[in-house]
Structure 1
Amino acid sequence: MNSTTIIILILSYFAILILISFLTGKKSDNNTFFKANQQAPWYVVAFGMIGASLSGVTFISIPGWIESSQFSYMQVVLGYIVGYIVIGTVLLPLYYKLNLTSIYTYLEERFGNASYKTGASFFLISRVVGTSFRLFLVANVLQVILFDDLGIQFWQTVTLTVFLIWLYTFKSGIKTIIWTDTLQTLFMLIAIGVTIFYVSDDLGISSGNILGYVLDSDLSKTFFFDDFKSSNYFWKQFISGAFIAIAMTGLDQDMMQKNLTCKSLKDAQKNMFWFTIVLTLVNFVILSLGLLLTVYAQQNGIDAHRDELFPVLAKEYLGIGVFVFFLIGLIAAAYSSADSTLTALTTSFSIDILDIEKKYDVAKQIAIRKRMHIIISFVLIFVIISFKYLIKDESVIAKLLLFAGYTYGPLLGLYAFGLFTTWQIKDKLVPIIAILSPILSYIISFNSLKWFGFDFDFFILILNGSLTFFGLILIRTKHH
């Protein structure tokens, strides 16, 4: 496929997103931007959240994991189910009861201003870095398959990427994103399905036998109970998965902002329930795709591994049909995550850090929100470009989830303490606890591997949250 065709494909894709933005952007105000006027259909939100949860990282990295980790990631996914049940039964009722726009407002009501600002700040750091990881990966792939040949530099690719996201989200924010995410999730799932069909056909597997082939393969080993020190030990991954879901979805403004657009708590819970079922199935399908791609590469003597596996096979070996869908799927996966993040970061910074709802009239609030939307776009561009020189190898999703363990840990500790105790705390000391917990977690994790051979891996989130919780016990004052 030549460069002109790829560019036309990408521009057509964005033209559709901008059209959706135009259609959903009429009579928009801050309530539209932040909460879609609480009129979003739950089933549309549920479907769109699939794409936002998976992102380009999952689309690229998980298939590349099979060679070294088999289906062990499903242990984490099974843990997610438990986490999503907690979100639906504990956190969503709390958020709807308090009628929150930013979920971190809860921390202010429970503990005070310092806790509130700390929670919001950790979210902002987590999301800026997490989204930058995701977009970095996609920008890198686009660079290799297209922009290098055209003489366009990496920083230009990144700037254009973020500008296009800003273009279709600046007016109506979350209201637009609910619909664009639905479309992008659909594109991503079609891309995965088409690739599975083509690869299985090349391997001589009939469509009716794909599931049997996957389950019979040695590469589909899912459960690992042998070595509790290992990073893929079942209970370690299962429990980590539950806490990753609670922290990275339930305590994440980006993911919860979508839930809060539903008309009622009942609708939001329905959304969460169906989202859980579909997400579990989709993760299994993506792992199956990874297995087929790995077998294909091995049988044909192709030297492509980890994050390079899917892009290399799609571009050079599987034909133009697969490559077109790969490209659309990759862009859809990346943007369905990044666009909502840009909106959530704008929401959190405007409401939590700048207090616009408390300090300014409506016209001033809209002006500040628009300015923040632009500033955060520039922050993302800067961070993504800096990653170009910091990331060397290792699967990006592993880095992403590991980093999340350090930044979401304090949020996990704060919410657990707020929900499961009646104690008050010395609010001004919370930032110190929140900064010390990740540092201590890193020291413990590093030395545990060195001295005992015990790999905390994703478990770092639980360690970090526990340290935060115990730190808050030390600064408690009295009962309510």
Structure 2
Amino acid sequence: MSPALLFSFVIGYFVLLLVVAYFTSRNSNNDSFFIGNKSSNWMLVAFGMIGTSLSGVTFVSVPGAVGKPLGAGFEAFTYFQIVIGYVIGYFVIAYVLLPLYYRLNLTSIYNYLSNRLGFTSYKTGASFFILSRTLGATARLYLVVAILQDAILSSFGIPFWVTTAVILLMILLYTFEGGVKTIVWTDTLQTTCMILGLIICVVFILSHMNLSFGEGLSALSERGYTSMFVFDPNSRLFFVKQVLAGAFITITMTGMDQEMMQKNISVRTLKDSQKNMLTFSLIQAVVVLLFLFLGGLLYLFASQNTVAATGDKLFPVVALEHMPPMISVVFIIALISALFPSADGAITALTSSFCIDLLGLKRREDWDEKKKKSVRRTVHLTFAAIFLLFVMVFKWVNNPSMIGVILKVAAYTYGPLLGLFTFGIMTKRSVNDKLVPYICIAAPVICFFLDKFQKDLFGNFEIGLELLIINGAITFIGLLLISKPGKVSKEVEPVAAHGNY
């Protein structure tokens, strides 16, 4: 299919998003932008969060990693070990963190740190979120923009930076007014398109190779693509490490992340928010398993049709060069459906956190609603410009597997958040608030050297994603060293849910 025709489908899809944004953003204000006026439907939030959590990286990198060499075999379905940890993490969020956030009636979850540890701790936590989400979201954005550039826009002679700028402009157009209120609906639409695209691609490949679902699974098993658990304790993919890492990745990257929690706390009641979280966790696990199955099928298809591509390039090459035109269209629509939820939510959450946590927008009594709205719009535009800059940096670095980059960034930047929240929840000690930023900076630095020199320090034992846990533990220990016994307000103590808030 010609790039021009593919591009026309992209434009049509974007127009549909604008129509949704128009109807959902009418009569919007700052509360609509930040927390959707606390009136979001939990079922829509749960379904839409699938697109946000998976993103274009999952759409491309997870299938591509199935055939990545691992010892005498392949990584296969070992990523599902992390997903098992994800499900555990979502239960912790539902019954430990969400009750806390609802009881405090938070707009920004980092206000908890202010109530529990102090104003400097609050600013430190918000700053680490802004850094982490900026790096993670722009890495995800880069991967999908690169595919769209190669598949469509390079044939028109359009530079990469222009492609990125246009996509960011599209996102700005439909999030500028409605924020979370709009995103809840657009994410639902985009998640639907992404999952439909995934299913259609799986069905087509099975049909093309004359296989049923069961026969496809058997063929993958014969090639060694369905192996799921690694039992070597020294391996970075050892299942205990992966499950624990998955649980803590979820607790930090969802439960302690303003972007993900912003949508959850926009649901009217705690009970509905918990239903949203648990429903989302189970659906996400099934969807990831289907992505892994697709990855195995792609490698089977590639071996039968002499496709040389592997890793992140495999799915795009097969879909755009070796499948019928309509499947190529499905792939492109599904890909941008995976792109937009991760980028639009990130820019909106970063705007919210910067305005509320760093600028103190909620506390500024000297600013009227019009002034606050103007500041929020300016910050929103600024983050779009920052995204453009960081995407260009990732293009310059050009790492072959972006999912590895994203998880490594998370290990370094979410570790201090894990330490801060855990210390606040698990202890009743008070910290020397002014020293907290130094502890939170020192922990990732120590982890960098542990990771860099791990062979010298630990021999054959490999540190993988559990680096996040180590980072959080070092932060926790540092906070203990600068703390003393103190009193904790009952409001900031976590309790099990027992009603509506």
Q: Same fold (TM over 0.5)?
A: yes
Moved over 6 A (4+): none
Structure 1 residue 219: deviation in Å?
Answer: 0.7
Q: Distance in 2 between matches of 1:404 and 1:119?
A: 14
- 1:374 alignment partner in structure 2: 381
Q: Give 3-state SS (helix, strand or coil) of 1:424's partner.
A: strand
Aligned pair 1:102/2:122, yes or no? no
Counterparts of 1:104-119 in structure 2 under 5 Å?
A: 104-119=110-125
Q: Give 3-state SS (helix, strand or coil) of 1:220's partner.
A: coil
- 1:87 alignment partner in structure 2: 93
Q: Give 3-state SS (helix, strand or coil) of 2:37's partner.
A: helix
Q: Distance in 1 between matches of 2:200 and 2:219?
A: 17
Tell whether the 8 Å contact from 2:89 to 2:250 is kept in structure 1 after alignment: yes
Structure 1 residue 300: deviation in Å?
Answer: 2.1
Q: Distance in 2 between matches of 1:207 and 1:324?
A: 23
Aligned pair 1:403/2:409, yes or no? yes
Q: Distance in 2 between matches of 1:453 and 1:380?
A: 38
- 2:371 alignment partner in structure 1: 364
1:461 counterpart letter in structure 2: L
Tell whether the 8 Å contact from 2:136 to 2:406 is kept in structure 1 after alignment: yes
Tell me whether 50-59 or 440-449 shows the greater mean CA deviation: 440-449
Aligned pair 1:320/2:313, yes or no? no
- 1:240 alignment partner in structure 2: 245
TM-score by length of 2: 0.94
Tell whether the 8 Å contact from 2:34 to 2:262 is kept in structure 1 after alignment: yes
Q: Give 3-state SS (helix, strand or coil) of 1:389's partner.
A: helix
Counterparts of 1:38-437 in structure 2 under 5 Å?
A: 38-68=38-68, 69-207=75-213, 209-211=215-217, 213-214=219-220, 218-225=224-231, 227-359=232-364, 360-393=367-400, 395-437=401-443
Q: Deviations over 1:428-449 (max 9, x none)?
A: 1010000000000111122223
More helix by share: 1
Tell me whether 73-82 or 450-459 shows the greater mean CA deviation: 450-459
Tell whether the 8 Å contact from 2:21 to 2:174 is kept in structure 1 after alignment: yes
Q: Give 3-state SS (helix, strand or coil) of 2:40's partner.
A: coil
Q: Deviations over 1:240-273 (max 9, x none)?
A: 0000000000000000001011110000000011
Q: Deviations over 1:302-324 (max 9, x none)?
A: 11100000000011112212211
Q: Distance in 1 between matches of 2:475 and 2:177?
A: 38
Q: Distance in 2 between matches of 1:215 and 1:198?
A: 20
1:24 counterpart letter in structure 2: T
Q: Give 3-state SS (helix, strand or coil) of 1:477's partner.
A: strand
Aligned pair 1:454/2:461, yes or no? yes
2:349 counterpart letter in structure 1: A
Q: 1:215 to 1:262 in 2, by over 3 A?
A: farther
Structure 1 residue 216: deviation in Å?
Answer: 5.8
Tell me whether 205-214 or 111-120 shows the greater mean CA deviation: 205-214
- RMSD over aligned Cα, in angstroms? 1.1
Q: 1:398 to 1:274 in 2, by over 3 A?
A: same
Q: Distance in 2 between matches of 1:413 and 1:239?
A: 16
2:466 counterpart letter in structure 1: F
Q: Distance in 1 between matches of 2:245 and 2:101?
A: 24
2:22 counterpart letter in structure 1: F
Q: Deviations over 1:340-375 (max 9, x none)?
A: 111000000000000011113322211111111111
Q: Distance in 2 between matches of 1:269 and 1:210?
A: 36
- 1:37 alignment partner in structure 2: 37
Q: Give 3-state SS (helix, strand or coil) of 2:453's partner.
A: helix
Q: Give 3-state SS (helix, strand or coil) of 2:479's partner.
A: helix
Equivalent pairs counted in the alignment come to 478
- 1:15 alignment partner in structure 2: 15
Q: Distance in 2 between matches of 1:366 and 1:29?
A: 8
Q: Distance in 2 between matches of 1:188 and 1:216?
A: 29
Q: Give 3-state SS (helix, strand or coil) of 1:457's partner.
A: coil
Tell whether the 8 Å contact from 2:4 to 2:152 is kept in structure 1 after alignment: no
Tell whether the 8 Å contact from 2:216 to 2:297 is kept in structure 1 after alignment: no
Structure 1 residue 148: deviation in Å?
Answer: 1.1
Q: Distance in 1 between matches of 2:133 and 2:83?
A: 21
Structure 1 residue 206: deviation in Å?
Answer: 2.3
Q: Distance in 1 between matches of 2:188 and 2:381?
A: 24
Q: Distance in 2 between matches of 1:467 and 1:254?
A: 25
- 2:492 alignment partner in structure 1: none
Q: Deviations over 1:275-300 (max 9, x none)?
A: 01100000000000000001111222
Q: Deviations over 1:124-156 (max 9, x none)?
A: 000111010011001100111111111000000
Tell whether the 8 Å contact from 2:298 to 2:315 is kept in structure 1 after alignment: yes
TM-score by length of 1: 0.98
Unaligned runs of 5+ in 1: none
Structure 1 residue 203: deviation in Å?
Answer: 1.6
Q: Distance in 1 between matches of 2:276 and 2:340?
A: 21
Q: Give 3-state SS (helix, strand or coil) of 1:103's partner.
A: coil
Q: 1:29 to 1:238 in 2, by over 3 A?
A: same
Q: Deviations over 1:3-55 (max 9, x none)?
A: 22112101101101111110011110011111111111100000000000000
Q: Distance in 2 between matches of 1:3 and 1:200?
A: 26
Structure 1 residue 478: deviation in Å?
Answer: 2.6
- 1:466 alignment partner in structure 2: 473
Structure 1 residue 86: deviation in Å?
Answer: 0.3
Structure 1 residue 450: deviation in Å?
Answer: 3.7
Q: Distance in 2 between matches of 1:197 and 1:78?
A: 26
Aligned pair 1:475/2:473, yes or no? no
1:56 counterpart letter in structure 2: G
Q: Distance in 2 between matches of 1:22 and 1:212?
A: 48
Tell me whether 308-317 or 364-373 shows the greater mean CA deviation: 364-373
Q: Deviations over 1:157-208 (max 9, x none)?
A: 0100111000000001001000000000000001111110111112220256
Q: Deviations over 1:322-345 (max 9, x none)?
A: 211110011000101110111000
Structure 1 residue 209: deviation in Å?
Answer: 4.2
1:26 counterpart letter in structure 2: R
1:472 counterpart letter in structure 2: L
Q: Distance in 1 between matches of 2:198 and 2:469?
A: 32
Q: 1:97 to 1:75 in 2, by over 3 A?
A: same
